[in-house]
Chains A and B, each alone.
Chain A
Amino acid sequence: MTDWVIETHNLTKIYQMGNIEVRALDGIDIQIERGSVISIMGPSGSGKSTLMNLLGCLDRPTGGDYILDGIHVGKMKDDELADVRNRKVGFVFQSFNLLPRQTSMANVELPMRYAGIIKGRREKAAQALQAVGLADRMTHKPTELSGGQQQRVAIARALVNDPAIIMADEPTGNLDSKSGKEIMELILNLNKTKGTTIIIVTHDPVVAEQTQRIIRLIDGKVLAEDGIA
């Protein structure tokens, strides 16, 4: 029996645009093994952002079931979803999305604050920043950091609550190729050392090829899965 961290059954998302129903996701059945690195690819409008939002518990499916780390999240209320995001999911965004007026330290502490952790918060945040190689940038604000460094802070923030999965949405999209490569190395390394499941949504075939498995979407359906590993 494989240990699935993500299981979806007939996952469907329908948007109502006036009178027209748009089936953004049309019966997705995927399983993702714990500790794997996978990528989701597809052209714009294929539903990959919708899938990421659902897998990251940012949104609720219209139909079907989604089990994340053993929890049925399909029918949860807003605040319950917030808790699940807080404990189970780490997000890395294309545009970093750091709080601009806060230091790296405060940015990394944020998920722990919402988790209600007070004791040892600073130490854990410091450890996370150390893990992404920013031990000397803890008191810097995002504007004082390069793009690559900002993305590192975002990664530290994503992993600080020890989530079951890390969702990365075009993590290298806003970076030059050198920093992009470093960020990918860092992400893959995290997977190796900590065993965190990593899901990368990307357009970039170079990024996708570094993952163990690629899920290709088109018109809200899984087109093909290429296993590499």
Chain B
Amino acid sequence: MNFGQAIIEAIESLNANKTRSGLTILGIVIGVAAVIAMLAVGNGAQNTITGSISGLGSNLLFVFRGNFTEEVRNPEYLTQADADAISDPFQAPSVAMVAPVINSNLEVTFSGEKTTPTINGVTPSYQQVRNMTLAEGEFINEEHILGLASVAVIGTDVADTLFGHRDGLIGETIRIEGQPFRIIGVLESVGGSAFGSEDNVVNIPITTAQTRLIRRASDRVDSILVQAASADSVSQATEEISEILRYRHRTKLGADDFTVFSQQDFVKTAQTITNVLTIFLGGIAGISLLVGGIGIMNIMLVSVTERTKEIGLRKALGARRKDILIQFLTESSLLSLLGGVIGIGLGWLIAFIVGKIAAASNTQLNPVVGLDAILLATLFSTAVGLFFGIYPANRAASLQPVEALRHE
């Protein structure tokens, strides 16, 4: 009995019971579509998150107060002096540029419109460290810092919300917590990131922020952004920064009261999170595929009972155990394979729609249907068909011809 014939016969027998075959396939379709869509969304989320982290700047290091892995009592605040020490080329030769930042979410208004973006108090080096480009105007410079100037460089989201357009805004005056600030630049849009939209920001001179908006004790800063000299010197820079801060914070012994994160660390952390998310979503989807498989088993068992006489006849005509086994396994695998193929299409469609919805709601999420997901789903669904087909097929193959023939 050759294989082509077995497939043709299986198609005929599935065709004879269209509704039943269709419903059985539907179970697999939903399972496979769910797996494909979930993996696609998970992949998309991962790409978006890691992409936006990489987009933050190059060879970037983040210094935060406190220790993320060990409990440290009363961690010292990071200060402007810490930032100055890190930028000392003799103490930290691997560091190219340092940008201390303080930030807070404050209300910004312009003629009745209002929004609450992140207000960053920054230094001129911030632009370069964060790899920012301006759509128009200029960034905060040294004079603004020294003069505690009331100037602001705004992101596109803020421009959209307050003005409804993005150009010709230079010279306009917005109010941050009621205080007037003159717009001197508009940033190029960079899209969303792991920390929310990077376009929903207002950058002002750090000195202005400290004295008038975000009151911090003495010269406290919230975080220090550091650009390493090159990609190779990132870990060297981390070491140097840690040494300096340990000395300055007098924590030579015991745990550090600060944390240095590199971009790679962020990417890794984000990947771990999104991987867990993808596995979780995929697992739930996998369960529906499993349920679909049980549906196949159910239908095949019914089919075996219904066709007992046919099986008896085939055996009387000389069908071996193997022949009957192949016949029923072909049917169940065909069901699941068909379900798998349709499911891939549907999953793709769902992923596409999710992408569209995300785009419509201004979230950057591009679901990616990978070849690996397609292969996995096809293999898995066929395996499900085979596995859940084994029991019914085996039952059919072990029927005794005499009893099977007598069955009505």
Which of B315, B316, B317, B401 is most buried by chain A, counting CB atoms within 10 A of its CB?
A: B317
Q: A101-B12, A101-B13, A101-B16 are in contact. Are A83 and B2 (CB under 8 A)?
A: no
Is there a chain A Cβ closer than 8 Å to B405's Cβ? yes
Which of A112-120, A122-130, A131-139, A208-216 forms contacts with chain B?
A112-120
Which of A56, A58, A82 is most buried by chain B, counting CB atoms within 10 A of its CB?
A: A82
Interface 1/0 per residue, B298-334 and A, CB below 8 Å: 0000000000011001111111111100000000000
Is there a chain A Cβ closer than 8 Å to B131's Cβ? no
Is there a chain B Cβ closer than 8 Å to A71's Cβ? no
- Indicate if the CB atoms of B317 and A59 lie closer than 8 Å: no
- Indicate if the CB atoms of B318 and A87 lie closer than 8 Å: yes
Is there a chain B Cβ closer than 8 Å to A76's Cβ? no
Is there a chain B Cβ closer than 8 Å to A148's Cβ? no
- Indicate if the CB atoms of A83 and B320 lie closer than 8 Å: yes
Report which of B2, B309, B319 forms a contact with A97, defined as CB distance below 8 A: B309
The interface residues of chain A lying within 8 Å CB-to-CB of B319 are 82, 114
A172 to B400, CA, bound (A): 26
CB distance from B17 to the nearest CB of A (A): 11
Report how many residues on chain A are interfacial, defined by Cβ distance under 8 Å: 26
Is there a chain A Cβ closer than 8 Å to B5's Cβ? yes
- Indicate if the CB atoms of B309 and A82 lie closer than 8 Å: no
- Indicate if the CB atoms of B318 and A111 lie closer than 8 Å: yes
A116 to B319, CA, bound (A): 10
CB distance from B323 to the nearest CB of A (A): 6
Q: A97-B309, A101-B12 are in contact. Are A86 and B317 (CB under 8 A)?
A: yes
The interface residues of chain A lying within 8 Å CB-to-CB of B12 are 101-102
Q: Which residue of B lies closest to A87 (CB)?
A: B318
Q: A85-B316, A97-B313, A114-B320 are in contact. Are A58 and B13 (CB under 8 A)?
A: no
Q: A97-B309, A101-B12 are in contact. Are A115 and B318 (CB under 8 A)?
A: yes
- Indicate if the CB atoms of A114 and B321 lie closer than 8 Å: no
Q: Which residue of B lies closest to A59 (CB)?
A: B402
Report how many residues on chain B are interfacial, defined by Cβ distance under 8 Å: 23
Q: A97-B313, A114-B1 are in contact. Are A83 and B402 (CB under 8 A)?
A: no
Q: Which residue of A lies closest to B400 (CB)?
A: A59
- Indicate if the CB atoms of B318 and A82 lie closer than 8 Å: yes
Interface 1/0 per residue, B15-57 and A, CB below 8 Å: 0100000000000000000000000000000000000000000
- Indicate if the CB atoms of B316 and A110 lie closer than 8 Å: no
CB distance from A113 to the nearest CB of B (A): 5
The interface residues of chain B lying within 8 Å CB-to-CB of A58 are 315-316, 401-402, 405
Interface 1/0 per residue, A185-225 and B, CB below 8 Å: 00000000000000000000000000000000000000000
The interface residues of chain B lying within 8 Å CB-to-CB of A161 are 318
A97 to B307, CA, bound (A): 12
Q: A58-B405, A97-B309 are in contact. Are A113 and B316 (CB under 8 A)?
A: no
A161 to B318, CA, bound (A): 11
The interface residues of chain B lying within 8 Å CB-to-CB of A85 are 315-318, 401
- Indicate if the CB atoms of B316 and A116 lie closer than 8 Å: no
The interface residues of chain B lying within 8 Å CB-to-CB of A93 are 405
Report which of A101, A116, A157 forms a contact with B317, defined as CB distance below 8 A: A157
- Indicate if the CB atoms of A86 and B310 lie closer than 8 Å: no
Within 8 A of B (CB), among A62-83: 78-79, 82-83
- Indicate if the CB atoms of A79 and B1 lie closer than 8 Å: no
A35 to B320, CA, bound (A): 28
Q: Which residue of B lies closest to A114 (CB)?
A: B318
CB distance from B328 to the nearest CB of A (A): 15
Q: A101-B13, A116-B1 are in contact. Are A86 and B318 (CB under 8 A)?
A: yes
The interface residues of chain A lying within 8 Å CB-to-CB of B313 are 97, 99
CB distance from A59 to the nearest CB of B (A): 5
- Indicate if the CB atoms of A113 and B1 lie closer than 8 Å: yes
A81 to B62, CA, bound (A): 78
The interface residues of chain B lying within 8 Å CB-to-CB of A110 are 314, 317
- Indicate if the CB atoms of B318 and A56 lie closer than 8 Å: no
Which of B1, B5, B316, B320 is most buried by chain A, counting CB atoms within 10 A of its CB?
A: B316
Q: Which residue of B lies closest to A53 (CB)?
A: B402
CB distance from B41 to the nearest CB of A (A): 43
- Indicate if the CB atoms of B310 and A114 lie closer than 8 Å: no
Q: Which residue of A lies closest to B307 (CB)?
A: A99
A123 to B405, CA, bound (A): 29
A116 to B315, CA, bound (A): 14
Report which of B2, B320, B323, B401 forms a contact with A118, defined as CB distance below 8 A: B2
Beyond contacts A58-B401, A59-B401: 19 other A-B pairs, Cβ-Cβ < 8 A, are: A56-B316, A58-B316, A78-B320, A82-B318, A82-B319, A83-B318, A83-B320, A85-B316, A85-B318, A91-B317, A97-B313, A97-B316, A101-B16, A111-B318, A113-B1, A113-B5, A114-B318, A114-B323, A161-B318
Top 6 A-B pairs, shortest CB-CB distance: A86-B318, A114-B318, A79-B320, A58-B401, A111-B317, A82-B320
Q: Give residues in A with beta carbon < 8 Å to B.
A: 53, 56, 58-59, 78-79, 82-83, 85-87, 91, 93, 97, 99, 101-102, 110-111, 113-116, 118, 157, 161
- List 21 interface pairs A-B (beta carbons < 8 Å), by A numbering: A56-B316, A58-B402, A59-B402, A78-B320, A79-B320, A79-B321, A85-B315, A85-B316, A91-B316, A91-B317, A97-B405, A101-B12, A101-B13, A101-B16, A110-B314, A111-B318, A114-B1, A114-B317, A114-B318, A114-B319, A114-B323
